[in-house]
């Protein structure tokens, strides 16, 4: 059944940083635009920690939330998994999508990253030099939300598919390295016969 995104989750704006954030090991995790990869993942181990003044509870995202990159060439959504044992401050242009009951976060991220949803953002994009998606655009996005069991099945298949792609890339890189090693070994094993350097 189709639903507006604003009807199935709360859409929260990230913190507006007035100046460049400085790294502080004693601070809190921060999720910035660069942290949401094109493959729709956020790795908490790679996040910078910063110190903020004032109450930041309204900007905190944690496990079970979805974050949306509202600026850039690709407007990816990423599900925050169980690795987020501590919450992180979402910094604009990151939006926090907090699913309501009956909505599986992994499925929500998958649906937002689908070509159909991306075309919706294409039609609403603003900015001549830096592409930006207004909050109203993400709120008005219409998505098919099936029953929970189907959502979980779709999310699981998507996760397996992405893992397969990662393993395939790793295998290709290992194969490339193996071929390079074999070729280098062949060069080293070619008899010189005193001919090297002769004209």
Provide, rounded to the nearest whole percent, the portion of the chain with pLDDT above 70: 94
Q: Please, is 27 exposed, middle or buried when counting C-beta atoms within 10 Å of its C-beta (0-12, 13-18, 19+)?
A: middle
Q: In what order do the strands lie in the sheet with 60-61?
A: 49-50, 28-31, 88-90, 60-61
Answer yes or no: is pLDDT of 84 > 60: yes
Answer yes or no: is pLDDT of 166 > 60: yes
Conformation bin of residue 124: beta by default, left when phi > 0, alpha when psi is -120 to 50 = alpha
Largest separation between any pair of C-alpha atoms in the chain:
80
Answer yes or no: is pLDDT of 117 > 80: yes
Answer yes or no: is pLDDT of 174 > 60: yes
CATH topology of domain 2-145: Adenine-n6-DNA-methyltransferase TaqI; Chain A, domain 2 (3.90.220)
Rounded mean pLDDT of 140-149? 95
Q: Are the beta carbons of 142 and 4 closer than 8 angstroms?
A: yes
Looking at residue 108, what is its pLDDT?
A: 95
Looking at residue 192, what is its pLDDT?
A: 64
Nearest to 78 by CA among 63, 92, 57: 63
pTM (two decimals): 0.80
Q: Are the beta carbons of 65 and 10 closer than 8 angstroms?
A: no
Answer yes or no: is pLDDT of 193 > 80: no
């Amino acid at each position: 059944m189709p639903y507006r995104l604003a009807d199935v989750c709360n859409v929260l704006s990230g913190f507006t940083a007035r100046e460049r954030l400085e790294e502080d090991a004693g601070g809190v995790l921060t999720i910035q635009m660069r942290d949401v990869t094109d493959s729709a993942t956020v790795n908490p181990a790679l996040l910078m920690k910063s110190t903020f003044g004032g109450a930041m509870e309204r900007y905190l995202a944690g496990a079970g939330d979805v974050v949306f990159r509202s600026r850039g060439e690709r407007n990816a959504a990423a599900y925050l998994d169980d690795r987020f044992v501590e919450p992180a401050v979402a910094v604009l242009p990151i939006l926090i999508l907090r699913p309501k009951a009956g909505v599986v976060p992994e499925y929500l991220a998958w649906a937002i990253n689908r070509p159909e949803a991306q075309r919706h953002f294409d039609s609403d994009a603003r900015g001549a030099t830096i592409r930006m998606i207004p909050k109203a655009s993400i709120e008005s996005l219409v998505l098919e939300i099936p029953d929970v069991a189907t959502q979980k099945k779709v999310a699981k298949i998507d996760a397996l598919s992405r893992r397969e792609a990662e393993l395939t890339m790793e295998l290709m890189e290992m194969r490339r390295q193996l071929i390079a090693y074999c070729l280098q070994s062949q060069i080293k094993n070619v008899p010189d016969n005193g001919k090297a350097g002769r004209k």
